[in-house]
Structure formats: structure tokens, C-alpha cells
Structure 1
Amino acid sequence: MLVIRLIFESFVFAVQALKSNLLRTILSLLGVTIGIFAIIAVLTLVDSLEKNIRDSMSFLGDKVLYVQKWPWSFGPDYPWWKYLNRPVSSTSDFRFLEKNLKEQTAIAMFASRGNRTIRNGSNSMSNAALMGVTYGYNGISEVPLEQGRYFSQQEIDASKKVMIIGYTVADNLFPMLNPVGRKISVKGHKFTVIGVMKKQGENFLGAPSNDYNCIVPYGAFTQLFVVGRYGAEPVIGIKGYANDKDLMRLEGEARGLMRAKRGLKPAQDDNFAVNRPEMIAGAISSIFSVLSLAGSIIGGFSILVGGFGIANIMFVSVKERTNIIGIQKSLGAKNYFILFQFLFEAICLSVIGGLAGLFIVYLLTLIPQDMMEVSLSAGNIILGLSISSIIGIIAGIVPAYLASRLDPVEAIRSK
């Protein structure tokens, strides 16, 4: 009950302090408001930017390794012609890994060609992307179906002329119609639509979108396009377990099997690359960590000024209420009661400033953005309130301590 009464009385005193000298209080809290706004706004923008970039890269999958000719990052001392002369991933490589890998949960081989023209009667679309996949592709990359179904093993093995299309493809070629069961023409070949993927929309980086994708069995794809060194280069995707250690074991296992398959001697370099999306994610996280740190430092100076403002208010408040403190003590109020009273008031004032800063950040998130979605997370709200509370404690502890040590007789005599 005592704690509740302390909090209530401190809140009442804080409100009275705000009302008694509104301009002084607002100017003093402005530093905390600006500081919290600066820190939380930067963190919110950085978090939103990172989330949008990661969402744009979701087509790479999670916990997936990619075995292919080219690495995603080049070593400084590695001659480019060694990469150029590497063999591309082959069907035999895929079958060998599929048969011998122990740590994988899914494995697939795929190849793609962009900017293809596809037709349905008089309707056509010229910027579609065709992708040939083996059966396990939906295990390494999400294929969210709105209508229809995924390929059967028999359709993949027999290289059937069946196709799963994206939302935009379906909308352009089959307006106001259900595409499932209808025909699409690609380079003179007729494909039957068996599924339509959900609408994905444009992403932040302009990365490949399912909306423009047309997925067919890998064998059917090889009948349409040249696949290999002088055509579409296949990629082998291997899905690992959620645990990072398991993924590292999978990477080592895949690397060892590929070296054995290609007959590489111990002293020879790999003539293939095992790429991980985490390499890109790690680079992104390090960049955003620097941005967050820079924003926090800038906001920290504003909060420091705000802390001095809160401390100034509390010193003035102690001076103005010295007589009241004396009366409270003469009626039996303990030192800790006076200390907590002023300390809670300082925290209250600081939190008010923090809430004002958070509210401004929230208003910014309501501004429509075409480029990316900006949202204020619960974690950042808690962080902002926590920082405000800490600033209130630091700024109010000295004035509160001085108030608690006042002699009641001298305090009552003061004017």
C-alpha cells in the first residue's frame, strides 16, 4: 500500500509541477523528448530497413546451402579465370549429393531464365521468369499456393508439361478466370497450369518475386533451354536443420562429397562454391549495427541535456517545497518516503518526455511509404521507456537525497 501511495502522490506532484510552470517544464523535458525520439527513430528505421531487406532476400530461403559454379564473394587473391573455368553443377552432381548426404532435410536442383514471353491465346506476357526445378524445390524455397497443387514425383520424373504460375502471370493471361487446368504456350510448347501462387508484391530491393515466376519440372525446362556451361547454369540447393552447428556439418559434408565426386586431390582447390545466405545476412547486420550505434550516440547527447533539464526541475522543486517537506517530516514522514517521493516524480517527468518522443516516432510510422514498411516495435517502445526511467533515476537521485536529508525545523522555517 505504501508503494502505491508513493507512486500516486508522486504522480500528483508531477502533474502539479507541470501545471504550475508549464513553459519551464516543457523546455526542460524537451531534451529527453528529442533524445528518445532520435534514438528510437533511428532504431525503428534501421530495424524496418533490415526487415525489408531480409524479406526481399527471403527467396534465398533459410538454412539453405547453394552449390554452384560462382561464389557470392570473391577472394582478393583468387584469379577470375579460375572461376570462369570451373564446371557448372550437373545432374550427376545432384544425384550423387541426393543419394549420399546425411545431414540434409531437402535437396533440389533448379535453373532459370528471365524475361521470357508466354502466351494464352491472344493474351501474352513478356517479362515472365521460367524456372525448372526438381521435386524437392518446395522444401528449400517456399512455394505458397493460392490455387491448385504442387508437382507430383511422377510429373517431375516424366518431365511432364505442367506449370505453377505466379499471381501476376495468372492475372495477365487469365483475367477473371481460374487458370488451373488451362494451357500456356512457351516457345511453342503447351503447358497445363496446375497451381497459382499467392500474391507476393514488389519487394524492397527489387529481388525476384513469385508473382512473375513460372515453375516447371526440370526435365521440361531442359527441353526449352540450353542448360549447362553455355546456357542456364543449374544450382543445387540443400536445406539444413535449424541448428547452426548442423548447418556447418552439412556444409562440410557437401563440400567433401563434391570434392570426392569431382576427384579433387587434397592439395587442389575446390572447383565449386558452397554459398550461404547467412554470409549476406551477416554483412547486413554489421552495417546496421554501425548505423544503430551512430544514432544512439547522437541521441545520447540529447538525452544528456534532457537529464540536466530534469535535474534542474527537481532542484527547483525541492527549493519550492522545502516548507512542505518540513511539515511532512514533522508529521512522521521518514527520509526514504521523501527520497522516493522526489525520485518517483523525476522518473514520472522523464517518462512523460520519453512518451512524447515515442509518440512522435509513432506518428512518423503512419506516413505512407512506397519504398518500405516502417513500424514501431514493442521492443523499441520498452527500450525508450527504460532509457527514460533510467535518466529520471540518475537526474533525480541527488535532489531527492538532498530533500530527504533536510532538517524538519529549518525546512518549516524556510520561505
Structure 2
Amino acid sequence: MLVVRLIFESFRFAWNALKMNLLRTILSLLGVTVGIFAIITVFTLVDSLEKNIRDSLSFLGTGVIYIEKWPFTPDASGEYRWWDFWQRPNVSYNEFKFLQTNLKAANGMAIFGIRNNSIIKRENNSISDVELCGSTYGYSELFEIELDNGRYFSQIETESGRNVAVIGHNLVNALFPDGSNPVGKEIKIKNLKYVVIGTMPREGESFLGTTSHDDLCIIPYSSFRKLYQTGTGSSDELNSRIGVKGQETDIGLVELENEITGLLRSRRGLKPKQDDNFALNRPEAIANIIGGLFDVIGIAGWIIGGFSILVGGFGIANIMFVSVKERTNIIGVQKSLGAKNFFVLFQFLFESIFLSVIGGLAGLLLVYLITFIPMGNLEVVLSVKNVVLGLGVSAAIGTISGIVPAAIAARLDPVIAIRSS
């Protein structure tokens, strides 16, 4: 009951301070409001940017290791040795079959090649800038291909290289403008007929403008090899990659990476002292680089907002010193009636925290209003984590700013306090 009484009295005094000295209080709390607004705005934008970028990179899959010629990032020294990487052989279908037979730590596997800017036709309709992907059956396991009509191709269709295709939303609209069902209909890729067996739902444009399934056409890898040269002798434009999905129990995919390295080095006849002539890429590497950049931006937000909060803290401390002076008589009466020092201490301390939290709430409200401003493909969301952070920082500033005035009030002599005018 004592705690409830303390909080109630503190709220009452804080509210009276707001009403009696509205302009002074608002100006004093402005620093906290601006500080919380600056910090939480930066964190909200950073979190939203990071989420949108990670979503844009979702086409790379999760928990996957890619075996290919070119690494995603520079080496440990920060140097990207493109000349050495250029001389590496491309991965081949035979290497894929070898790994598929011998890998024990894999939970899914596929080899696929991409041909950008492809043209696909049907009767008098055509569409360019298509991303043509030739893949083995496991591609759907790596990227969780979602279909809204039809089916994905079977293992038999993959191995035999049947001319079947799964197409994205934009291809459906361009090749079947009459709204007819594409499944079972023929399309042409490099003048070869392919039967559409499935379609993918609309995904829309991502924040970074990265590839989506809307402009994607998937055909079996063996059929893709009839159209374009793949393997070690292919050009970089048609560089295939092998994607291997790890098991959930393999934390960090350490076991999978070690097994791939050992098998592929053995397959390519590399000696112990020779460097790997292949790259094992992970989508997490790009995400970590992005995360490091956003950490720096977050620190900048703390620095910018910190100065405003510091000013706001002095403003709240000023309010509390004035409040102690104005209520010296009341403090004396309370103490003469038996109020303990800690009662007076917590009364002023809660009042300081309450005032600071009001300033923080005003800052959070401004941040919330920002989320309604259209920012193109960037979706800005004020998360619960940032709301809690803003309120926590406000409460901490209120505690720090109010502790000295509250301690002074608690140590006042009741006789002297009553006599003061």
C-alpha cells in the first residue's frame, strides 16, 4: 500500500507541476523529447532498413552453403583476389553428383545455373528480361518455392531433362493476357517448346530491387544444359553453383562446411599445401557486413540523441530543484506528521521519473507519426523493443536527474522546513 501511495502522490505533484508551470515544464522536457526522438528514430530506421534488406536477400535462402567460383566477400586481409578467382574452374554437374552421393551432413542439395535477360514467347506474346533458371529437383527445398497453380517438376522429369517449366507471376500476365490457365500450355525458350506445369504467386518488388520469383522461369537442369553450355568450360555468365542446405542440428554449418571442403579437395586432386580453388559462400556473410554498418549508424544515433537527452536531464533537474524549494513547507509538515526520509525521497524521485517519461512518450509519438510517411519500398515499423528502449532511457534520465533534488528534500530538517517562507 505504501508503494501505491507514493506513486499516487508523485503523480499528483507531477501533474500539478505541469498545470501550474506548463510552459516552463514543456521547455524543460523538450530536451528529453528531442533526444528520445533522435535515438529511437535512428534505431527504428536502422531496424527497418536491416529487415527490408534481409528480406531482399531472402532469395539466397537460409542455412545454405553455396559452392561456386567467386566468393561473396574479400578474404581476411580485405583483398578481393579477382585474378586468382577468375582462374578457378566452374563447378560441374559431375561434381554435384559426386557430392550428392557422398555428403552425409546435407539436408538438401541442388545445382543450378542462371541465364538473365532471356526471352520467352507464346504465340504472338513475348516477355524479355526473364531470369531463366535451370535447376535440379532439390532447388525447391533450398528456396521453398511456393506455387499457386499446378506443381513442381518431379525427380524423373529432372533427370530425364523433360521440357517442362514453372513460371512466375509477370510471365503469366505477359504470356497469357487473356487470363487463361497456363498449366498444360506451351511456351517457347530459344525456339524449343516447353510445357508449363506450375505457376508462382506474385511477390512484388523488394526494397533493394533484387530478384524475385515474378520474373523467374525454372526448368530442369538437364534441359537447361541443352540450351547453354555449363560446367568447367562454361563462361562466367553461365556460372553454375551448387547449393547445399545444412541440418538444423549442425550449428553454424561447421560439420557441413568441413565435409564439403574435404570431399571437393579430394575430387579436384588438390595437394595439402594448395589453396582451395573454390568458394564456400553463405548469405550470412552479406548480412554480417550489413549488420556491422548499421551498428555504426546506431552509435551515431546514440551520440546525437545523447546531447539532447543531457540537456533534457538538466532541465528536469532544474524543475525538481524548483519544486523542492516551492514545497519546502509541505515537506516540513509531512515530516512532522511522521513521514520517513525514504517517503520524501521516493516521492520526488517518482515525480522526476514521471516527468521524464512524459517527455519520452512525446518523442515516441513523433517517431510513430514518422512511420506513416510513405518511403517507397521501405516499410518503417516502430517495434516494441524500441518503445521499451525509449521508455527505459527516459526513466533512467529521470532517475539520474531527480536523485540529487530528492536527496536534498529527504534530508531537510522538519522544523526549519516549516519555518521557511
Shorter-chain TM-score category?
over 0.9
Partner of 2:202: 199
The answer as to 2:193 corresponding to 1:187 is no
Q: What TM-score, normalized by structure 1, do the two folds share?
A: 0.96
Once the two structures are superposed, residues 271-315 of structure 1 have per-residue CA deviations (whole angstroms, 9 ceiling, x without a partner) of: 211111121111111111111011111111111111111110000
State the 1:179 CA deviation: 2.0
Secondary structure in structure 2 of the residue aligned to 1:274: strand
Q: Write out aligned runs for 1:337-352 (5 A).
A: 337-352=343-358
The answer as to 2:272 corresponding to 1:254 is no
In 2 relative to 1, CA 400–79 (structure 1 residues): closer, same or farther, beyond 3 Å? closer
Q: For 1:177, which of 177, 180, 187 is the aligned residue?
A: 180
Rounded to whole Å, the distance in 1 between the matches of 2:168 and 2:65 is 25
Partner of 1:363: 369
Q: Write out aligned runs for 1:25-40 (5 A).
A: 25-40=25-40
Decide which moves more: 175-184 or 116-125: 175-184
State the 1:402 CA deviation: 1.0
Q: What TM-score, normalized by structure 2, do the two folds share?
A: 0.95
Q: For 2:131, which of 110, 129, 132 is the aligned residue?
A: 129
Partner of 2:71: 71
State the 1:192 CA deviation: 1.7
Rounded to whole Å, the distance in 1 between the matches of 2:159 and 2:321 is 81
Q: Write out aligned runs for 1:98-177 (5 A).
A: 98-175=100-177, 176-177=179-180
Secondary structure in structure 1 of the residue aligned to 2:19: helix
Rounded to whole Å, the distance in 2 between the matches of 1:8 and 1:153 is 71
Rounded to whole Å, the distance in 1 between the matches of 2:327 and 2:366 is 33
Secondary structure in structure 1 of the residue aligned to 2:378: coil
State the 1:84 CA deviation: 2.2
Decide which moves more: 120-129 or 100-109: 120-129
Q: Write out aligned runs for 1:16-415 (5 A).
A: 16-75=16-75, 80-175=82-177, 176-228=179-231, 229-231=233-235, 232-242=238-248, 245-415=251-421
* Structure 1 consecutive aligned stretches of length 4 or more whose deviation exceeds 6 Å: none
Once the two structures are superposed, residues 65-108 of structure 1 have per-residue CA deviations (whole angstroms, 9 ceiling, x without a partner) of: 11111122344677544322221101110011111111111110
State the 1:246 CA deviation: 5.0
Rounded to whole Å, the distance in 1 between the matches of 2:355 and 2:283 is 46
Identity within the alignment, %: 60
Q: 1:110 touches 1:235 (CA, 8 Å); kept in 2?
A: yes
Rounded to whole Å, the distance in 2 between the matches of 1:138 and 1:70 is 23
Once the two structures are superposed, residues 158-200 of structure 1 have per-residue CA deviations (whole angstroms, 9 ceiling, x without a partner) of: 2111111111111222232332222221111222222221221
State the 1:404 CA deviation: 1.2
In 2 relative to 1, CA 148–78 (structure 1 residues): closer, same or farther, beyond 3 Å? closer
In 2 relative to 1, CA 94–82 (structure 1 residues): closer, same or farther, beyond 3 Å? same
In 2 relative to 1, CA 243–346 (structure 1 residues): closer, same or farther, beyond 3 Å? farther
**Runs (5+) with no aligned partner, structure 2:** none
What amino acid does structure 2 have at the position aligned with 1:233? Answer: N
Once the two structures are superposed, residues 321-375 of structure 1 have per-residue CA deviations (whole angstroms, 9 ceiling, x without a partner) of: 1111112222222211111111111000000000000110111111011141111
Q: 1:103 touches 1:246 (CA, 8 Å); kept in 2?
A: no
Please report the RMSD computed on the Cα atoms of aligned residues, expressed in angstroms. 1.5
In 2 relative to 1, CA 280–396 (structure 1 residues): closer, same or farther, beyond 3 Å? same
Secondary structure in structure 2 of the residue aligned to 1:105: strand
**Runs (5+) with no aligned partner, structure 1:** none
